[in-house]
Amino acid sequence: MAKKKGEAIQTILAEIIKGLSSADHEEQDTAKNKLDDLSKKGFSTSDGIALLRGATQKFPPRMWDWLDSSGDLIRAAAEAPNPEYISVIRDCFVEYSPKGKVEALYLLSLLSDRNAALAFMDLLHEHARSGQIPRLALIQIQNSPHHPDIFFPRILDYTDIEEFSWDIRLLLLNYLEAGLVDTDRISDYAKVIEKDYVTLAENLMRLQKNEGNDWIWEDEYQELRREASLCLDLLGYFWDESVKDLLRSALSYNDPRLKYFAAVGLLRQSEVVEQRHLHNIAASPEMRNWFYDRLVKMDKVSLFPEEFKTQRAFAESNMVNWLTYPTELGRAPDEIELMHIGTFDTETEDGLIDYFVFRFRTFEPHWAAKDGWIAGISGPFLRKDSPSTESYGETFSQFEPWESKSAQEHLGDIQETISRWREYRSKNG
């Protein structure tokens, strides 16, 4: 019976690959839908190998540029990663499409097997400079660092490739945070980071302003800020005096995020940071919870200013951080006010929970300025853990005008929306 079932799946896979090989977009879409349905049931090792080998074909273009048949087949095999795929990927890698190569590297990253890490780095070495790998798929290794001796310092050789630099530096940061990389082994690379940061700092200092925060959210500044934040975070792990001098000078930024990374780097090295700098960081709703959580992790929470160590302040920071997502407000609001606290008794032993109802607004030229004050909620927070930065997943805004409802009505409507969304997700996966 198992043999017949396996043969049936192999037949379906052959039909799927044939459909993806068609120049007809409808046939391609039908094949892709069949592949998705089959993926939900799981693949055997032999099925996965068939997918990986089938992905070597030269497929015709799909309807949209971001769709890629080679990548789809490899991604389907990655649903059930298996060490037996390592040799197949090595053999087939050169035949994959550019997006297929990204998916193949991602599949290898899902395996904690040492041979998978070796294959990842060997394939990167052989193909990184061919222009055939549009980006690196390092998120899994970033989240679960392993085999540092294989990845470092070897992978740092490819940070000069623009498409790879950010992800590799973020990977390095994760390994440094986990204590898996000896900074003495990569001290030469620290000089590269220093040089890059100094160039960024020249432009950032020029753009600092003393009033308002609109300038922080302008596109030019955001890109510089993003790069400099990562550089400062990395430099905080290198203990030379030149690094400390850079971190100290970064405390002069008006931007609280850059000041945060500078302060954390210095505190990590047991340097003294003036109270006024600590206060400025904690006063920023955008950085407040980041700062508190980092100080807890560093066992230096006593340095956090008591003025901002309240549940109200942490809820405000939680709301602002949600709003900064590109899919939401895309920035911190110009003004935010707490309007109501809703308290409920849970049906579990957790006890009372609090929701914090805020109103916020932005000024012109932001798109939300026309709506004036807007409602949002932060929480819930467990009363027994107060004050805590941990929200339990219902921070949200429907971007409705504040005046349209009472605070209690805004809270109830948002809770209902979240409940419906969760019900939909549970039914539709």
Nearest to 116 by CA among 79, 152, 88, 136: 88
Q: Is 133:127 a contact under the CB 8 Å cutoff?
A: yes
327 and 273 assigned to the same domain: no
Which domain range does residue 424 map to? 313-428
DSSP one-letter string for 248-300: HHHTT-S-HHHHHHHHHHHHHTT----HHHHHHHHH-HHHHHHHHHHHHHTT-
Residue 269 belongs to a domain = yes
Tens of pLDDT, residue by residue over 335-361, are 999 999 988 877 667 888 899 999 999
Residue 244 belongs to a domain = yes
pLDDT band at 307 (very low <50, low <70, confident <90, very high): very high
Other CB atoms within 10 Å distance of the CB of residue 46 = 13
What pLDDT was estimated at residue 6?
A: 55
216 and 294 assigned to the same domain: yes
Q: Per 3-state DSSP, what percentage of the chain is helix, strand, and coil (rounded to 5)? A: 60, 5, 30
**How many domains does the structure of the chain reveal?**
3
4 and 121 assigned to the same domain: yes
12 and 130 assigned to the same domain: yes
State the chain's mean pLDDT as an integer: 93
* Average pLDDT score over residue span 158-172: 96
381-402 burial, b at 16+ Cβ within 10 Å, e below that, comes to: bbbeeeebbebeebbbbeebeb
323 and 420 assigned to the same domain: yes
Tens of pLDDT, residue by residue over 110-161, are 999 999 999 999 999 999 999 999 999 899 999 999 999 999 999 999 999 9
What's the distance, CA 23 to chain centroid? Answer: 36
* Average pLDDT score over residue span 89-95: 98
What pLDDT was estimated at residue 99?
A: 97
pLDDT of 5 higher than 80: no
Residue 166 belongs to a domain = no
196 and 83 assigned to the same domain: no
Backbone angles phi, psi at 356, to 5 degrees: -110, 120
Highest mean pLDDT among 2-11, 166-175, 339-348: 166-175
Q: What is the pTM for the complete model shown?
A: 0.88
The token pair at 206 is 């020029």
Residues 6+ apart with CB under 8 A from 64: none
Nearest to 154 by CA among 173, 181, 114: 181
15 and 130 assigned to the same domain: yes
Quick one: what percent of the chain has pLDDT higher than 70?
96
72 and 8 assigned to the same domain: yes
What's the distance, CA 101 to chain centroid? Answer: 22
186 and 304 assigned to the same domain: yes
303 and 209 assigned to the same domain: yes
293 and 337 assigned to the same domain: no
Q: Is 273:251 a contact under the CB 8 Å cutoff?
A: yes
Q: CA-to-CA distance for 189 and 156, rounded, in angstroms? A: 8
Q: CA-to-CA distance for 353 and 201, rounded, in angstroms? A: 43
* Average pLDDT score over residue span 2-23: 79
Q: Which of 309, 338, 372 is the last residue of a domain?
A: 309
* Average pLDDT score over residue span 67-77: 96
* Average pLDDT score over residue span 381-392: 94
* Average pLDDT score over residue span 90-101: 97
Q: Is 405:377 a contact under the CB 8 Å cutoff?
A: no
266 and 361 assigned to the same domain: no
* Average pLDDT score over residue span 74-78: 96
Residue 174 belongs to a domain = no
Residue 82 belongs to a domain = yes
What pLDDT was estimated at residue 393?
A: 85
Q: Which of 309, 333, 359 is the last residue of a domain?
A: 309
* Average pLDDT score over residue span 306-323: 97
Residue 157 belongs to a domain = no
Q: CA-to-CA distance for 118 and 124, rounded, in angstroms? A: 10
Q: CA-to-CA distance for 107 and 140, rounded, in angstroms? A: 9
pLDDT of 429 higher than 60: no
Residue 172 belongs to a domain = no
What pLDDT was estimated at residue 426?
A: 62
> Which stretch of 4-13, 368-377, 383-392 has the lowest confidence by average pLDDT?
4-13
What pLDDT was estimated at residue 8?
A: 72
Q: Which of 262, 283, 309 is the last residue of a domain?
A: 309
Other CB atoms within 10 Å distance of the CB of residue 118 = 15
Residue 283 belongs to a domain = yes
What pLDDT was estimated at residue 2?
A: 46
